[in-house]
Amino acid sequence: MMTPVRVLIADDNPIVRMGLVALLDNAPGVELCGEAADGREALALAVEKRPDVTLLDVRMPGTDGLSVIGDLEPLTRIVMLTHSDEPDVISRALAAGATSYLLHGSFDADELVRAVTDAAEGRMRLSPAAAAVLAGGLRGEEPVPLSATPKDLGSADPEQRWSELSREHRLSRRELEVCRELVTGLSNRDIARNLFIEPKTVKNHINSVFAKLGVTSRAEALAVLLGTAEEASEHTPARTPSRLAT
């Protein structure tokens, strides 16, 4: 038998928590291990229970969800489960280490279970609004799948496209490796595991990539990395040579 995915629910609304419990309580392969009413309680329970996945609301009284993602991320995979579809909130949550971002009303019971089991294995799931934010929806464009590679965006040779990106933005070899993992939707922890480096090192590389791309969020970085050359230039402000130095 497969080991069940242990899930912690963190939401200040008891009705929402009851609904999530009802959806997941009898789901095969899922085991509920606790409920929290705010971010502080979620963190304490995560330390105690070590859930595989935490369903985390954004806005909660006291300590909100966004405030504890950084502390939760080393302990559990995080699925943001919220009513907030604000682009800045979505970007901040994913940049801080959330694995997935789902909006209430955009999934049924089966989809929620799949999101939980996918998150436990490090696979990202996004509600359409979140995917749009990360893949061009900020400018009203048709979203591009997060699993897309430069080949999917019109280049005959994906390796050539990656080489062009590396030269254009003066990315180091390791930064380029991190970028290639980043566009698949992986969290910092999973990128670190794939590249055999520490999560803190991944975060440092991502910060360096942000500076070289001229962006300030993961959403903007994805727009550059997944965009055409013309789209990338629209997202990338003018740079000075000192900013591009490795």
Q: Among 28-32, 52-56, 224-228, 241-245, which is the least confidently predicted range?
A: 241-245
Of 92, 36, 44, nearest to 67 by C-alpha is 92
Would you state the structure tokens that stand for residue 149, as one six-digit string? 């590679």
Q: What confidence score (pLDDT) does residue 218 get? A: 73
DSSP class of residue 126 equals: B
Domains, in order of start, for the chain: 5-134 (3.40.50.2300), 150-244 (1.10.10.10)
Identify the band that residue 124 occupies on the pLDDT scale cut at 50, 70 and 90: confident
Tell whether the model's pLDDT for residue 103 goes beyond 90.
Answer: no
Of 57, 80, 208, 75, nearest to 134 by C-alpha is 80
Q: What confidence score (pLDDT) does residue 230 get? A: 34
Which is more confident, 124 or 210? 210
The radius of gyration of the chain from alpha carbons, rounded to an integer in Å, stands at 18
Percentage of the chain with pLDDT > 70?
77
Tell whether the model's pLDDT for residue 104 goes beyond 50.
Answer: yes
Q: How high is the mean pLDDT of the chain?
A: 78
Q: Which residue is it, tokens 């670190």?
A: 192
Alpha-carbon distances, residue 113 vs 2, 21, 174, 176 (angstroms): 15, 12, 35, 33
Amino acid identity of 228?
T
Which is more confident, 8 or 218? 8
Helix (H, G, I), strand (E, B) or coil at 213: helix
Identify the band that residue 42 occupies on the pLDDT scale cut at 50, 70 and 90: very high
Rounded Cα–Cα distance for residues 148 and 143 (Å) = 11
What would the mean pLDDT of 55-72 be, rounded to a whole number? Answer: 91
Strands 53-56 and 77-82, sheet pairing: parallel
Q: What confidence score (pLDDT) does residue 183 get? A: 75
Q: What are phi and psi of 240, to 5 degrees?
A: -100, 155
Residue 56 forms beta bridges with which residues? 10, 80
Tell whether the model's pLDDT for residue 242 goes beyond 60.
Answer: no
**pTM for the full predicted model:** 0.59
Which is more confident, 213 or 56? 56
Tell whether the model's pLDDT for residue 208 goes beyond 60.
Answer: yes
Q: What confidence score (pLDDT) does residue 25 get? A: 86
Would you state the structure tokens that stand for residue 33, as one six-digit string? 């291990």
Read off the pLDDT of residues 138-194 as tens digits, 9 standing for 90 and up.
Answer: 344 443 333 444 434 444 456 777 788 888 899 998 998 898 887 766 778 888 888
Is the four-CA dihedral 78, 67, 10, 80 of positive or negative sign?
negative
Q: What confidence score (pLDDT) does residue 235 get? A: 36
Strands (E), 83-232: 100-103
Q: What confidence score (pLDDT) does residue 227 get? A: 59
Rounded Cα–Cα distance for residues 124 and 218 (Å) = 14
| Cβ–Cβ under 8 Å, residues 10 and 58 | no
Which is more confident, 228 or 175? 175
Read off the pLDDT of residues 67-98 as tens digits, 9 standing for 90 and up.
Answer: 999 999 999 999 999 888 887 788 788 878 89
| Cβ–Cβ under 8 Å, residues 57 and 82 | yes
Q: What confidence score (pLDDT) does residue 129 get? A: 66
**Which residues, including other chains, have CB under 8 Å from residue 169's CB and lie 6 or more apart?**
209, 212, 213, 236, 244
